[in-house]
Structure formats: C-alpha cells, structure tokens
C-alpha cells in the first residue's frame, strides 16, 4: 500500500502513518515524481493539481480537513475515486471554544467595556440569564452539532439550522428556507458553521442580515463565502451612524489572508482572527486517517463526500 501525504506538517504525518502502518510505503508530496506515482491513497490538504493528475490507480482520497471546497475545485480530481474527509477529529472542541468565546464576548458586554475603557467610563452593564440569550448555529454536521450541544450545555438557549431535518438533544432545530427565516428573527448571536457550496454562498446577504434582531452579533468560524462582507459592513454601520448589527467576530474571509486594505481590519465593532478557530489536532486526525485506510483496505462501507452536494 502506497500513501502520499500533502499538508504543511507532512513529515510528522509521514512518520506517524509509517509507524502505525509498517507494511505501507508512506511518502510526502516532496518525493520525486517517479516515486509518487502509482499511489493507492492520497492523504491531502489543498494539494496541487499535478499530484492528483499523475495518479492512475487511486483507491481513495482522504481530505485532511472538514472542508472539501478546495479539493472539489482542483483540476484533475478523478470522478470515480471515493473521497472521505475528517469529521470532527478533535476540531469540534476547538470550534466550540471559539464559538463560546464569541458568544460570551457579546453576552457579557466585553465590546462595550472595551469602548468604555477608551473613554475612562466606569459603567457596569446589565447581565440577563443565559437562558434568555438565544444563540443560532447554522450548520449541524459533526462539528456544528458539537458546537450547538456545547453552547446548550453552557446554559444558552440554542437554535440550530440545517438544510434537512436534524435532531439534537436540547437544541431547537430548524430546516429549509422557512426555518432559516424563523431562526434568524430570534437570535442574539449567530454562528455560521456551514460548508462552502453554491447553495451556501452569501447565505448571509443583506436581506438575511436584516432579519436578525437589532443589536445581534455574528460569529463566523465556518467559511468566508458564507457572508457577503459588504452587506455585513453596511449592517454594522460606523461610529457616526451605528448599524442594525452590534458586532462581529470573524475567522474566515472571502480572500485569505485578509487584504490589509480591507475595512474589516479597522472597524471598531469587528474582531478579526487569522483562520485559527479550529486547527486540526494531529493525533486525533491521524487516528481517523488510519481508521479510514483500514476501512478502505477491508472494503468497509464509508460515509463519503458527495461532490454534487459539496460536502
């Protein structure tokens, strides 16, 4: 069995997979081209097109992350090779930490205290019961479902949304276009953890942002394509003319790195983080990859990526 690895920490992956699978040949994408060819499996993250195009006998592709949008757009991606992706693999807990921080930032008025500090203003803000602070989570897959449950366990009222019906204990779940409209009208903080697909592009446009209650906040650790950035800026307003929304915590953007001339950097009601909400924990991810390889080799049925759906 020959496995080619392409990811920033490729050498660590190579060592770990070689140790777990001593009968396999594990190479990084830096190996000479003649050695990379005839691979059985690719374990990759944002791999160059030539790595896909030079293979002729792939049995499977393992996407080393939860998002497959980059992979599905890569020229030369074979249409007849099954693709699996990391599902949670320890990312859920990290994403939940990020989401909880974002919710608490607005729930406990940290944005207002930051502004008050600049004016040397000593003014405690009222605190409502957590159960009275509704949090919406768009996307209830493995990671989104984990985040929704974690927020509910932290005491917040959580409303979740997905394209198709889902059930999560303690979470009021909505689905479909009508369900999205109903959810948006009720939440003080909105978290987006949807995949990047044609159906989700700018799912938060000007119309939908306006459906949020006045003073709501947006937290996006999902995909940069989910939010129309100009519509968000318009909804946030400025110091002279405050907008409909209170603030935003953004980890992902339409263009990354976020250009230095983007007005999001300087907006007083926006916190920018550099796509760091949920880095893939190496050990958990490697364990999942090993289980995928064993399943491929033994012919077990796997939950594979649907290229038409985009996830």
Residue of 55, 19, 59 whose CA lies nearest to 37: 55
Task: List the catalytic residue out of 105, 208, 223, 267.
Answer: 223
Is 202 a catalytic site residue? no
Asked if residue 184 lies in contact with residue 212, where contact means CB atoms within 8 angstroms, the answer is yes
Task: List the catalytic residue out of 172, 202, 244, 275.
Answer: 275
Asked if residue 53 lies in contact with residue 77, where contact means CB atoms within 8 angstroms, the answer is no
CA dihedral sign, ordered 49, 50, 56, 58: negative
Is 175 a catalytic site residue? no
Q: Beta-carbon neighbour count of residue 252 at 10 Å?
A: 22
Residues catalogued as catalytic: 223, 275
């Amino acid at each position: 069995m020959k496995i080619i690895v392409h990811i920033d920490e490729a050498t660590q992956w190579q060592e770990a997979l070689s140790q777990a699978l001593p009968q396999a040949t594990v190479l990084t994408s830096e190996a000479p081209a003649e050695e990379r060819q005839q691979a059985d499996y690719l374990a990759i993250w944002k791999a160059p097109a030539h790595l896909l195009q030079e293979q002729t006998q792939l049995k499977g592709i393992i996407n080393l992350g939860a998002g497959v949008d980059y992979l599905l757009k890569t020229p030369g991606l074979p249409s007849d090779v099954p693709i699996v992706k990391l599902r949670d693999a320890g990312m859920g807990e990290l994403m939940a930490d990020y989401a909880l921080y974002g919710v608490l930032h607005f729930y406990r008025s940290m944005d207002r205290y930051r502004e008050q500090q600049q004016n040397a203003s000593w003014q405690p803000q009222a605190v409502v019961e957590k159960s009275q602070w509704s949090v919406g989570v768009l996307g209830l897959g493995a990671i989104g479902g984990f985040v929704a449950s974690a927020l509910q366990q932290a005491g917040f009222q959580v409303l979740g949304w997905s394209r198709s019906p889902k059930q999560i204990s303690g979470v009021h779940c909505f689905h479909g276009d009508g369900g999205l409209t109903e959810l948006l009208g009720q939440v003080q903080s909105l978290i987006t953890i949807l995949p990047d697909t044609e159906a989700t592009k700018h799912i938060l446009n000007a119309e939908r942002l306006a459906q949020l209650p006045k003073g709501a906040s947006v937290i996006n650790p999902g995909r940069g394509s989910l939010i129309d950035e100009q519509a968000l800026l318009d909804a946030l307003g400025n110091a002279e003319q405050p907008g409909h929304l209170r603030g935003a915590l953004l980890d992902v953007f339409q263009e990354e790195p976020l250009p230095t001339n983007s007005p999001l950097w300087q907006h007083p009601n926006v916190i920018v983080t550099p796509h760091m909400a949920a880095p893939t924990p190496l050990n958990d991810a490697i364990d999942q990859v090993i289980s995928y390889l064993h399943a491929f080799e033994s012919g077990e049925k796997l939950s594979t990526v649907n290229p038409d759906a985009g996830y």
